[in-house]
């Protein structure tokens, strides 16, 4: 029987299926971070339950650590240091490799997992973070879970899960040069709703996806959780095999024959197929407090259809009918597991070169990993960002979410490359507008929401 | 974990769609490396006019006297979307919430509910709104009875069926620690792993004697 890529990954990890219909899946890699890793490890310690395969577990410092130059364990977030210390201590006691503060390979979990070859095609990987689906771009069965399930995975190398429905998103045609995978994701979510793929495993395919580079594919898969998907996948191809080759945790000899079978068979069943014409996608921006509330950057805010939309407009402080390019911003943020890899920084820098951020706009760039930061600096991108008036930071999740430390300030309007524009996500009463790195850079320069073409 | 069988309590409506885990518990409220001490941070952006000073906003539903002892939430679709933070469920449970009724849930949030003995009951949007309308007339006396065994929510409207995955129903009824339960499959896990490493050696990470990582 023809199988989908997801079916193949599921079948190859299924230990047993219970009477209730849930399967016990074997988990090849567990990634932790300091926000919840310490809690999971402490809870196991207290019950004298060992970590079953510490060599296949990893701990990344990313969520609460400071991103200012010269940082240590002290955090701007009240109490943040305790999370770092507890995770470090717990990981060391269990023999788990930590990508620690100051480590040359530190960075945001999902970015480091890819850079280090921890995530590989055909593996299963869990992490107590919802954006774990990012790694589906490599053909990894990558699942975001809670702390209790992380504890369970550390103790048993398994996860119980009901087989989710399959949704295929076929992207026909190629994105135009001024459209990015972020725009594609925001368009998809706006068209089909923030719960458009509720509980489903999404596979992105089609010429528009095949044409994307690996980092672009990661941006697309990253946003799948904002589409309510349980995970996202893209069939691994030669680009992926080249990407993973020679990475620290990749095997010396890649099992190419096996990996080349990781694709959806002709005629395999999906519960739903969504077709998208990539050639029609323009630069996007959100106007509300859900990633589904978005329009073209050149568009206007629609009339609210319901109470949820009215509430969003009230929070965001904009009236229906407002043209997005008229909206003035107070801050611009380039960072996060969504859009702060090297290609994202290059795309922003291309716009910022020989330009300055508009007066009064606070602009911050936080590379997604120490390796991204190093590579960007080797190309001189840091000098472009700094000369334009951007802060250039150490890597981490940073201002993607507010944890009590830094904030843009109440009422401030931020254009951001991150993934969530929820109320209060980036700080109490901060108004977030999601967009691509190019749109964020252009908006920073113009001081209003802008496409690069408007400069 | 306490087993869940049947619960009767005051229900509070929070009907807007897409209430995310950042709204349920803002990250800044996750102050200690602990599953505890979170209930005062629950919905803190909405519950307080000044979150830092903890000044209650009298308009927020859970601050209204009629809903003060609510143990059931009636919610809109995609409730608990967003961040995987289990702190959201720990905060709800500590506050006293035992049941959340919604047309759909964020997938990770829903699993977190079950792991903490909170029942996530799926009811179509129109039926959730009907329940909310019925409750709103006099919340303290118009209690809902949520029976996990029958899958029905009892109210003055009659009995409203809810959906829950069979495995989750069993977990809630059992109330057993999931790690202990899974370790009853330890032999099957070991056998599967042995075969996996033999057939797919590249999937295995090991540390060589020289301290170097070896994959495959």
Digit-coded pLDDT (tens) for A330-388 = 999 999 999 999 999 999 999 999 999 999 999 999 999 999 999 999 999 999 999 99
In this structure, of A23-27, A28-32, A221-225, A401-405, the range with the lowest mean pLDDT score is A401-405
d(CA A79, CA A65): 11
B182: nearest CB among A47, A83, A158: A158
pLDDT of residue B216: 79
How much is the mean pLDDT over chain A?
Answer: 97
Only one residue has tokens 């993607």, namely A400
Residue in B27, B104, B196 to test binding to A, most A beta-carbons within 10 Å: B27
Residue pLDDT tens, chain B, 216 long:
779 999 999 999 999 999 999 999 999 999 999 999 999 999 999 999 999 999 999 999 999 999 999 999 999 999 999 999 999 999 999 999 999 999 999 999 999 999 999 999 999 999 999 999 999 999 999 999 999 999 999 999 999 999 999 999 999 999 988 999 999 999 999 999 999 999 999 999 987 777 778 887
B20:A422 CB<8 A: yes
d(CA A452, CA A449): 10
pLDDT of residue B213: 80
State the pTM of this model.
0.97
Q: Which of A224, A257, A219, A222 is nearest to A241 (CA)?
A: A257
Residue in B132, B202, B211, B213 to test binding to A, most A beta-carbons within 10 Å: B202
pLDDT of A442 strictly over 90: yes
- Secondary structure in 3-state letters for A269-336: CCCEEEEEEHHHCCCEEECCCCCCCEEECCCECCCCCCHHHHHHHHHHCCCCCCEHHHCECCEEEECC
Q: Which of A91, A87, A173, A181 is nearest to A134 (CA)?
A: A181
Dihedral sign, CA of A433, A439, A440, A446?
A: negative
d(CA A265, CA B96): 48
Element holding A186 (H helix, E strand): helix A181-192
Q: What is the average per-residue pLDDT within A246-274?
A: 97
For chain A positions 211-250, those within 8 Å of chain B (CB to CB) are 225, 228, 230, 248-250
pLDDT of residue B207: 78
pLDDT of A424 strictly over 90: yes
pLDDT of residue A49: 96
In this structure, of A42-46, A188-192, B205-209, the range with the lowest mean pLDDT score is B205-209
Q: Which of B10, B13, B14, B15 is nearest to B145 (CA)?
A: B10
Q: What is the average per-residue pLDDT within A13-32?
A: 96
pLDDT in tens, A82-108: 999 999 999 999 999 999 999 999 999
The angle subtended at Cα A396 by Cα A393 and Cα A401, nearest 5°, is 105
Q: Which of A173, A137, A122 is nearest to A13 (CA)?
A: A122
Q: What is the average per-residue pLDDT within A215-231?
A: 97
Q: Tell me if residue B15 falls in helix, strand or coil.
A: coil
A20:B182 CB<8 A: no
Dihedral sign, CA of A404, A410, A416, A418?
A: positive
CA atoms within 13 A on the CB side of B129: 7
Q: Which long-range contacts (CB under 8 A, 24 or more apart) does A149-152 make?
A: A149/B111, A149/B112, A149/B115, A150/A30, A150/A32, A150/A36, A150/A37, A150/A40, A150/A126, A151/A40, A151/A43, A151/A44, A151/B179, A152/B178, A152/B179, A152/B182
pLDDT of A62 strictly over 80: yes
pLDDT of residue A299: 98
B182:A199 CB<8 A: no
d(CA A132, CA A301): 31
Question: Considering only alpha carbons, which residue of chain A is nearest residue B208?
Answer: A55
């Amino acid at each position: 029987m023809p199988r989908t890529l997801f079916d193949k990954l599921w079948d190859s990890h299924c230990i047993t299926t219970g009477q209730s219909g849930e399967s016990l899946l074997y988990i090849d890699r567990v990634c932790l971070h300091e926000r919840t890793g310490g809690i999971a490890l402490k809870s196991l310690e207290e019950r004298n339950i060992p970590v079953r395969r510490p060599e296949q577990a990893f701990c990344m410092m990313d969520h609460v650590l400071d991103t200012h130059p010269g940082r240590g364990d002290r955090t701007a977030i009240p109490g943040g240091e305790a999370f770092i210390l507890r995770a470090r201590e717990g990981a060391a006691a269990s023999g788990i490799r930590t990508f620690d503060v100051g480590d040359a390979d530190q960075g945001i979990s999902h970015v480091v997992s890819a850079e280090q070859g921890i995530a590989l095609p055909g593996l299963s990987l869990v992490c107590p973070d919802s954006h774990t689906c990012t790694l589906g771009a490599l053909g990894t069965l990558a699942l975001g879970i809670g702390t209790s399930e992380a504890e369970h995975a550390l103790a048993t190398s398994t996860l119980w899960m009901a087989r989710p429905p399959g949704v295929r998103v076929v992207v026909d045609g190629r994105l135009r040069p001024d459209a990015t995978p972020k725009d594609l994701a925001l368009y998809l979510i706006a068209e089909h709703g923030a719960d458009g793929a509720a509980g489903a495993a999404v596979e992105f395919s089609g010429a528009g996806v095949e044409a994307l580079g690996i980092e672009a594919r990661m941006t697309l898969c990253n946003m799948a959780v904002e589409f309510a998907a349980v995970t996202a996948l893209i069939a691994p191809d030669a680009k992926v095999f080249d990407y993973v080759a020679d990475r620290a945790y990749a095997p010396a000899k890649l099992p190419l024959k096996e990996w080349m079978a990781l694709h959806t068979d002709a005629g395999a069943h999906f519960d739903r197929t969504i077709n998208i014409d990539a050639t029609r996608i323009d630069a996007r921006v959100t106007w509300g407090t859900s990633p589904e509330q978005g329009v073209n950057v050149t568009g206007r805010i629609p009339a609210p259809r319901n109470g949820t939309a009215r509430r969003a407009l009230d929070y965001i402080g904009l009236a229906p009918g407002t043209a997005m390019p008229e909206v003035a911003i107070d801050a611009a943020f380039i960072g996060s597991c969504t859009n702060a890899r090297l290609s994202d920084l290059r795309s922003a820098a291309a716009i910022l070169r020989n330009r300055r951020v508009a007066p009064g706009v606070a602009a911050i760039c936080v590379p997604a990993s120490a390796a991204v930061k190093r590579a960007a600096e080797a190309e001189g991108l840091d000098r472009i960002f700094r000369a334009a008036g951007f802060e250039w930071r150490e890597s981490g999740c940073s201002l993607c979410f507010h944890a009590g430390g830094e904030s843009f300030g109440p009422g401030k309007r931020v254009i951001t490359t991150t993934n969530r524009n929820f109320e209060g996500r980036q700080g109490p009463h901060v108004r977030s507008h999601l967009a691509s790195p190019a749109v964020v850079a252009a908006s920073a320069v113009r001081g209003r929401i802008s496409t690069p073409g408007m400069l | 974990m306490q087993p869940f069988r049947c619960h009767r309590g005051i229900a509070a409506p929070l009907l807007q769609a897409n209430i995310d885990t950042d709204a349920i518990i803002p990250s800044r409220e996750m102050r200690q490396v602990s599953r505890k001490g979170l209930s005062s941070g629950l919905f803190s952006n909405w519950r307080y006019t000044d979150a830092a000073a903890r000044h209650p906003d009298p308009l927020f539903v859970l601050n209204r006297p009629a809903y003060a002892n609510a143990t059931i939430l009636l919610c809109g679709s995609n409730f608990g979307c967003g961040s995987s933070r289990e702190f959201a469920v720990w905060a709800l449970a500590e506050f006293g919430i035992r049941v959340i009724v919604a047309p759909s849930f964020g997938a990770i949030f829903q699993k977190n509910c079950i792991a903490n003995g909170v029942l996530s009951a799926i009811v179509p949007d129109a039926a959730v709104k009907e329940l909310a309308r019925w409750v709103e007339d006099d919340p303290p006396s118009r209690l809902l009875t949520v029976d996990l065994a029958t899958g029905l929510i009892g109210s003055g409207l009659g009995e409203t069926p809810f959906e829950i995955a069979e495995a989750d129903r069993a977990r809630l009824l059992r109330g057993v620690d999931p790690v202990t339960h899974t370790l009853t499959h330890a032999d099957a896990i070991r056998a599967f792993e042995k075969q996996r490493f033999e057939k797919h050696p590249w999937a295995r990470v090991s540390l060589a004697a020289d301290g170097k990582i070896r994959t495959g």
